[in-house]
Amino acid sequence: MKTILFLCTGNYYRSRFAEELFNALAERAGLAWRADSAGLIVDHANDNLGPISSNTLSALAQRHLAVAPPLRYPRQVQARDLADADRVIALNESEHRFMLDEQFPGWAERAEYWHISDLSEAPPCVSLGAVERNIEILIQELSSPA
């Protein structure tokens, strides 16, 4: 089984949606891929009000997907996570490239980047819709014979 690691800042909203949606669609497509997610600056006491964003749960429910209990709290990315992943995708290049390079030198050039805005810059329907479109393209890419 190959793995994709989705990264965002807090592992509360965008990367968790990407992880759950990718895993559901990859399973439906019969792909031997699995996603995980982590954050580059996880701060449980700051903006995260629980284990996962209510916007993420709502967007998943709209797509008839549910996160299996127990809900895990956001987790900080570790060097081992990066090394173990077959692909690393950070969800916003302008936000995450510097963080990744600062914490894990050399990884900023090895990661792939999308351009998904956080809640402070775009409503969930826009950001999570963009994640969904990128995931669908990724699933098509992984489904195509090499």
Identity (one letter) of the amino acid at 21?
Answer: L
What is the DSSP secondary-structure string of 39-102?
ESS--TTTT--SSS-HHHHHHHHHTT--PPSSPPPP-B--HHHHHH-SEEEESBHHHHHHHHHH
CB-based contacts of 58, cutoff 8 Å, min separation 6:
124
At 69, list the tokens: 């209990």
Model pTM?
0.94
pLDDT value of residue 12: 93
pLDDT tens readout for residues 73-86 = 999 999 999 999 99
pLDDT value of residue 68: 86
pLDDT value of residue 32: 97
pLDDT value of residue 43: 75
Nearest to 128 by CA among 61, 75, 74: 61
Domains of the chain (ranges, CATH numbers): 2-143 (3.40.50.2300)
pLDDT value of residue 146: 63
Q: Which residues of the chain have pLDDT under 70?
A: 44-48, 146
The H or E element containing residue 139 is helix 124-143
